[in-house]
Structure 1
């Protein structure tokens, strides 16, 4: 097999710091690499194009579909299989080898693959703590991102939130996508401040929250109902999942995620207090 029979879609906005590494990691291995860009003000598109990627401008109209579903509908629709990568992600060499094995016998029978993330925080690869899995590879003819009713929610905008695309069937791969953001750590807090706005909005809109719960990972569905989330989050990641073995980075990440859960709770209480 020369190139994998799939397209890589990379949704971006201002990813100049990371995009060269992401594009370079896949450009020689797949049919096409397409950067779907939301009007970046830096050199994201210029860098990607110089490395051989296609670039497409994307403008959200405030309705469904949001950005990733738009990619499924419009990015090389003649190629059924599409792999989503964030602008700061690269497939590990082991994952590329695993994908070649998956496609060696022809198109897979399952509709999607869940892929673990090799997560980096504060410059260190985390080996313990949270296990993050993304449904990142899918046959677009058998998968779709649900329309969950969150158009009025703050925090996410054009992006699908923290939920999975719906697939007829799915399998899990063993090898990871490496998620390493080279931007300063403050950008992590900036993003999660916005995400906590979305999560708090869900808490006061239970009908939408329940729709989203059904399309989260199994771990996400279980955590949805847990009380005292900041404490449980820290205990789960740092103690039960042995995040302490990652040293200071493991402690920092467990604290950051616990703080994120605290933000959600605080914003939820504020919204309920101010609601008419």
Structure 2
């Protein structure tokens, strides 16, 4: 079987639980499989190399480009197409066949879109959700025509070397049908730890409308609409659990909808705290009024 003319880039840090399965799912299918590692202190690098991946170290300098754009700029730049995978993601067999069809066009035709959006098969607390979410990631990119935005968020907490929750910019994009499976083998507490950091970033944006609008423009249509929705915790729960029929996933569907609602509540609470810090108004002026 011929290898596809695509570089698989897997940004990692401490993904020892997941990385072997991720590399194993793509090795042999693509021209290059490269783990771009940010100083893992576990066995991520050794496990990736044992499965046949290249391992490239990465250290963020605190400026743009961040990690994924750095991959577009530096990881096998002789190959135009890049597929980004998280360290806990694996393409389904259907997705591998679909990508192979994309890169095996009929005679006289070429790959026209600049990017492909891929739906996520989402696992939460060890269960594969069938309903209740709509996550689509723009992860298959022609690096000559796509670039990650550079909003003015370098001072924001929560993200660090990672690009934020926005899509890479592409002049044209097509959605594929088959899913990319996001199956995190870490305990569910790590989901909450990550989303606690992410909510720091989101709350920081709430107090900076100009930067928030920069990021809104780089989101999907659904993301742009939700960005402006009122009562986000309630809207989030109703959308996931009722409208998207998360209740059909049983307890897992309820837990996921509640967790996402809690995440939205965190963002609002942190944003309100930043706008009106604890202790404000209790200085000398307040004492003088007693």
| TM-score band, normalised by shorter chain | over 0.9
Matched, 1:252 2:251: no
Listed one character per residue, the Cα deviations across residues 45-92 of structure 1 (whole Å, up to 9, x for unaligned) are 000001110001100000000000000000000000000000000000
**Aligned pairs for 1:171-186 within 5 A:** 171-186=174-189
SS in 2 for 1:7: strand
**Offset of residue 28 of structure 1:** 1.1
* Residues 184-199 of structure 1 aligned to structure 2 (within 5 Å): 184-199=187-202
TM-score (norm 2): 0.94
TM-score for both structures, normalised by structure 1 = 0.99
Unaligned ranges ≥5, structure 2: 281-290
Matching of residues 114-129 of structure 1 within 5 Å: 114-129=117-132
The one of 200, 209, 212 equivalent to 1:206 is 209
2:67 corresponds to which residue? 67
How many residue pairs get aligned? The number is 276
In 1, the alpha carbon distance for the partners of 2:111 and 2:248 equals 37
- Partner Cα distance (1:119, 1:108) in 2: 28
What is the alpha-carbon distance in structure 2 between the residues aligned to residue 262 and residue 151 of structure 1? 24
Q: Which position in structure 2 is the counterpart of 1:130? A: 133
Shift of 1:274: 2.4
- Look up the SS of the partner of 2:248 in the other structure: helix
Q: In structure 2, what is the Cα distance between the partners aligned to 1:240 and 1:144?
A: 33
Map residues 75-90 of structure 1 onto 2, 5 A cutoff. Answer: 75-90=75-90
Q: 1:250 to 1:222 in 2, by over 3 A?
A: same
Say if 2:228 is the partner of 1:232. Answer: no
Deviation at residue 22 of structure 1 after TM alignment: 0.1
The equivalent residue for 1:18 is 18
Indicate the residue corresponding to 1:30 in structure 2: 30
Which whole-Å deviations, capped at 9, do the CAs of 1:219-266 have from their partners, x for residues lacking one?
100000000000000000000100000011000000000000000000
2:50 paired with 1:47: no
Q: Which runs of 4+ in 1 moved over 6 A?
A: none
- Deviations along 1:168-190, one digit per CA (max 9) or x if unpaired, are 11000000100000000000000
Offset at residue 268 of structure 1 (A) = 0.2
Measured against aligned partners, the alpha-carbon deviations of 1:66-120 in whole angstroms (never above 9, x if no partner) come to 0000000000000000000000000000000001111102641110000000000
**Is 1:167 the counterpart of 2:167 in the alignment?**
no
Unaligned runs of 5+ in 1: none
Question: Within the alignment, does 1:217 sit opposite 2:226 as a pair?
Answer: no
Counterpart CA distance in 1 for 2:152 and 2:11 is: 22
Could you say what secondary structure the match of 2:276 adopts? helix
**Structure 2 CA distance for aligned equivalents of residues 4 and 25 of structure 1:** 14
